[in-house]
Amino acid sequence: MVVPLTNEPSDRWAWVEIDLNAIRKNTRAFKGLLKRGTKLMCAVKADAYGHGAVECTKAMKASGADQFAVATVAEGVELREAGIEWPILMLNQAPESAIDTLVAYDIMPSVYTSEFALAYGERAAAADKVGKYHLAIDTGMTRIGVLPEDVIEFRHAIDFHRGLSCAGTFTHFATADSAQDWDFKLQAQRFMDAVDALRNAGCDVGLVHCDNTPGTVLHPQLHNDMCRAGIGLYGLQPCELTAPRISLTPAMSVRARVTRAIYPAVGEGVSYGLNYRVPTPHVQIATVPLGYADGLSRTLSGRMDVLVHGRRARQVGNICMDQFMFAVDTNPVRSYRRAQPVAEGDLVTIIGEDGDERITADEMADLRGTINYEVTCNFGMRLEKVYV
């Protein structure tokens, strides 16, 4: 009889566990880096990097966060519908067809075309509101924003509109996480020059902000009025440089339970393609009900470990859409690292700690050839989140 963990879903033996205490602790750590009065904007886009936007937003606010950032209109609406009333910035422009939704839900867009800005001002005025926005400046990332040399002209083209109000001015760094800081310094210089020029031209720039997680930790001279942290709030380091500077606690664990465990005959194959063959007697093959549709990249097939009974076991065979298998060598003649057999219902850790062992999102990211951000976002896809 399996004794379920607190909050474990009743209908599926696979879930994401979110430690809200870690989120609170990390948020306080970031707030602690800021001078009094400097605001903290928390990036809760992509369902809070897979951690659950509504719960994380509440935990962050309770720990000193001031504002929140989303990537899409729907993400902003989700927070508003959950009763969240704090400022929300969308880190992009929206299609003009979404403007009425932005106005109705009081979601500030980032703005960089005058067509969009004026259409937004029109719809806000029509609703008897003032459309707050943040001006995005492209200082070198070449993603979104007005080019620094065009910012004054841009503001002059839209500032006449009574339906518009600039609540912030920001840029985004491409290399805040790099030890090579020439490009970073150039972006920072372009940004501060553009802000100065706007102020000198009499424009209200609102809150000035540019630092993301690595910037906030490594470049305090650029905190300005607000920092925009994301990954660090979830307890992950954006790069090796930040690790010695701030202590963070990962908030996400990914767990499952064994749904079947058998001892196939030597030579039997495992999973699509039968790429793995049982090599010796006493090898147990255990099945876990979690697959690539849950965010466990198929590129990890045969290359990752899981934790069971506080020890590592090798995942074997191709990862399927909804399940994967792992092998446990219980061979009694191998006294060295002989593993205890697993049984249906045993707890399996895909990300997180079990006993003295731990598998981090960074370990998985390295195996996949990606970054920890993508690993946690991916686990947000389908698994139920439980909060502890």
Ligand X SMILES: *Cc1c(COP(=O)(O)O)cnc(C)c1O
Find the binder of ligand X among 39, 228, 255, 385 (CB under 6 A): 228
Residues 62-121 that bind ligand X (CB under 6 A): 91
Annotation marks residue 45 as catalytic: yes
Find the binder of ligand X among 139, 213, 271, 376 (CB under 6 A): 213
Q: CB-wise, 89 or 117, nearer to ligand X?
A: 89
Q: What is the CA radius of gyration of the chain?
A: 24
User: Are 161 and 132 within 8 A, CB to CB?
Assistant: no
Q: CB-wise, 53 or 278, nearer to ligand X?
A: 53
Q: CB-wise, 232 or 289, nearer to ligand X?
A: 232
Residue nearest to ligand X (CB): 230
Residues 231-250 that bind ligand X (CB under 6 A): 231, 238
Largest CA distance in the chain: 83
Report the nearest approach of ligand X to the CB of residue 205 (Å): 17
DSSP-assigned states of every residue in 57-122: HHHHHHTT--EEEESSHHHHHHHHHTT--S-EEESS---GGGHHHHHHHT-EEEE--HHHHHHHHH
Report the nearest approach of ligand X to the CB of residue 141 (Å): 9
Report the nearest approach of ligand X to the CB of residue 110 (Å): 8
Q: Which stretch binds ligand X (CB under 6 A): 145-153, 225-233, 240-248, 331-339?
A: 225-233
Structure tokens at 361: 């999102």
Which stretches of the chain are assigned E, i.e. beta strand? 14-18, 39-43, 67-70, 88-90, 108-111, 131-137, 164-171, 207-209, 226-229, 252-257, 260-262, 269-270, 276-277, 283-288, 305-308, 311-316, 324-329, 347-354, 357-359, 384-387
Q: CB-wise, 93 or 315, nearer to ligand X?
A: 93
Structure tokens at 354: 């079990």
Please report whether residue 223 would count as binding ligand X according to CB under 6 A.
Answer: no
Q: CB-wise, 2 or 74, nearer to ligand X?
A: 74
Residue 273's CB is within 10 A of a number of other CB atoms, namely 10
Report the nearest approach of ligand X to the CB of residue 55 (Å): 18
d(CA 249, CA 358): 13
Q: Which of 25, 31, 39, 45 is catalytic?
A: 45
Structure tokens at 135: 């001006």
Q: Which stretch binds ligand X (CB under 6 A): 157-165, 188-196, 226-234, 240-248?
A: 226-234
Report the nearest approach of ligand X to the CB of residue 236 (Å): 9
Q: CB-wise, 77 or 91, nearer to ligand X?
A: 91
Q: Which stretch binds ligand X (CB under 6 A): 189-197, 222-230, 282-290, 312-320?
A: 222-230
Give SS3 for 181. coil
Find the binder of ligand X among 14, 34, 43, 99 (CB under 6 A): 43
Report the nearest approach of ligand X to the CB of residue 46 (Å): 8
d(CA 95, CA 73): 10
Find the binder of ligand X among 109, 121, 163, 230 (CB under 6 A): 230
User: Are 121 and 161 within 8 A, CB to CB?
Assistant: yes
Residue 52: CB partners within 8 Å, gap ≥ 6?
18, 380, 385, 387
Annotation marks residue 276 as catalytic: no
The footprint of ligand X (CB under 6 A) covers 43, 45, 91, 172, 212-213, 228-231, 238
Q: Which residues are catalytic?
A: 45, 272
